[in-house]
Amino acid sequence: MAPYESDDATDAAQDRDLRSGPRKAARYVVPVAVVGVAAATIGLVPALADSGDPDLPKITAQQLIEKVAKSDAQQLSGTVKISTDLGLPNLGGLENSLMSGAARGGHGDSSPADPKSRLTELVTGAHTLRVAVDGPDRQKLSLMEKGAEYSLIHNGKDVWGYDSQSNEVYHGTSAGSGKEHRAEPPATPKDFADQALKSVDDTTSVTVDGTARVAGRDAYKLLIRPRQSGSTVGAVSIAVDARTGQPLKFTLTPASGGAAVVDVGFTQVSFAEPAARTFDFTPPKGTKVTEQKKQPEARHHAPGSGEDFAKGMEGYEVLGKGWTSIAAFDTGAKGGLPGGSRGGVFGGFLGSFGDKVSGKFGKGTVFSTRLVNALITDDGKVYAGTVTKGALVKAANDAK
C-alpha cells in the first residue's frame, strides 16, 4: 500500500490509515503524450509561486492525494511556463532535428504543422503555452514563439495543427471522445502529477510540505520522495489548488541537486468556461493543408520507472521495483556502439557523449542525462531507468 505519511508523527493511528490508504485513488490513468524519453523532463521555471504562504486548514497527504484524484476541471484556460534542463550538451539545434525526425517515424512528407513534429520542441529550452479546455472534446494549445505561433486545436472529431511561420495546416481526426483521446500533449501540471501519483507505492514517501501561492491561488504542496537509494530522482513537488484539487505546478528535482529537471506551472489560470469561439478553426486562405494519412499511434505516458521505458518492447525484463527498477532488453546487435570506421562520423560523435564502463558483464557505454541513464553493452544488451550509472552496472553484472 502507498505510504501516505502524516505530518504529525505522533498520530500512530492516522499513520496506519495512511499506509493502508486509498492507493487506488492514485491509480487513475490520464494519458500523457510523449515524444522520446526527454519529453518527461520539463525543466525549471523561476519564481512561479507568489510571495507569501497562505494559512490553510490542515490536511493529510492521504486527503490531498484523494483531492487530486477527484479533481476533474472540465473547463479551464491559462498560461503555462515550461522549460527543459536535461543537462545535455548544446548541439546547436541538432537534438531537435533528430527528435523531430524520430517523431515523424521516418516519413519525409510530414507537415511542419503535424503535432508529432512540432511538439518535440518542448523537450529543450524555455516555452510559453496557452491552454484552454472545455470538456473531453474541445481543447486548444498554443505554443508562443518569437514572431510566430503554433496551435493545436481539438474540436469534436477534428484535430487541427496550424503553424503560422510556414503557413501550413495539419488536419486529422480524433479516435473518439473522452480523456483517452484528448488531443493535447503533456502541457499542464496535472498531466505530470497524474503520472507521478501512479508511481506511488511502498518505495515512496509522501508528505504535505506546507502551502504556497501559485498563479494567484492558494495551494497545498505535496512532496513525493523515493525511499530507495540509487534513483536519480530526488523529489517531486506538486502544488495543489486548495479549492479545486487541480495541480497548479509540478517540480521534479534530481538527486544530484541543482536546478530542477521538471518544473511546469501556471502563471495564470481560470476555471471559467472558455468562449466557444476559442476552439473554432478554419484554415486561412492560401494555406497548405496536409490531411492525416492514418490514425495516430497509441500514446504513451511519461516514463517514471524502468517498466515504463520497457513498455512496447518485445522481450523486455524489469529488474528491481519502484523508483530503482530498470528495463533490460536485448537488441541483438553485437559489438556495442558503432565507432571508428564502423560507425563513421556519427558513431564517433555519439560515442563521445558516453562513459565507457566495464564489469563482469563485459564492456559497454553509459549515456547519461540528469534524470535518465542507459547502459549499452558490447554484446547488445540495454539497461535503462531513472537510476545512477552504478545501479546500471550492478544490474548488468547481476544479470550474468
Closest CA to 287 of 113, 116, 61: 113
Query: What tens digit of pLDDT does each residue of 16-60 get?
Result: 333 334 333 332 222 222 222 223 322 222 333 444 689 999 999
Average pLDDT along the chain = 75
Identify whether the C-beta of residue 375 lies closer than 8 Å to the C-beta of residue 369.
no
Cα 54 from chain centroid (whole Å): 29
Give the mean model confidence (pLDDT) for residues 181-203: 76
pLDDT tier, 187 (very low <50, low <70, confident <90, very high otherwise):
low
Give the mean model confidence (pLDDT) for residues 140-157: 90
